[in-house]
Amino acid sequence: MKILVDTNVILDVLCNRPDFVEASSMIWKLCEVDKIEGYVSALSVPNIVYILRKELTPQKTEQLIGQIMMIFRIVDLRSADLKAAAEMVTADYEDALQMCQANRIHADYLITRNIRDFKDRKVPALKPSELLERI
């Protein structure tokens, strides 16, 4: 199974978000042990660093990026993705980019807590807990 993991699912674990960390951590673990092919958008990495910037030293930033890259494969951001996302009818351009990338890599699911922005798309969106129920 191949999944693209949304930025917020990564942040659930890194920020230890009480309501979400358990299911999101299980997704990380399944990717880490190669039970699932886990991907993350190249766009997510700088967004994560930006969100956590007040807590990160350059060394911690390097360590964080290394950890993400050890567990997840990074999906490059292509100019075709930028254009295709701009043409999608959606309120959130970042979500559209991730959907284009998930489609391009032939992901089975896009894992996000924000499934309403991904309705009626080629790649089904699931919450982390919903994916765990299917495994």
pLDDT for 59 equals: 92
Is residue 12 within 8 A of residue 24, CB to CB? The reply is yes
Count the alpha carbons within 13 Å of 36 in the hemisphere toward its beta carbon.
25
pTM of the model: 0.91
pLDDT for 91 equals: 81
The dihedrals phi and psi of 13, each to the nearest 5 degrees, come to -75, -50
Question: How many whole angstroms separate alpha carbon 64 and alpha carbon 41?
Answer: 15
Q: Report domain extents, the chain.
A: 2-134
pLDDT digits (tens, 9 = 90+) for 7-49: 999 999 999 999 999 999 999 999 999 999 999 999 999 999 9
pLDDT digits (tens, 9 = 90+) for 85-123: 999 878 889 999 999 999 999 999 999 998 887 776 789
pLDDT for 80 equals: 95
Give the CATH fold of the 2-134 domain: Rossmann fold (3.40.50)
Q: What is the DSSP letter of 135?
A: -
pLDDT for 92 equals: 87
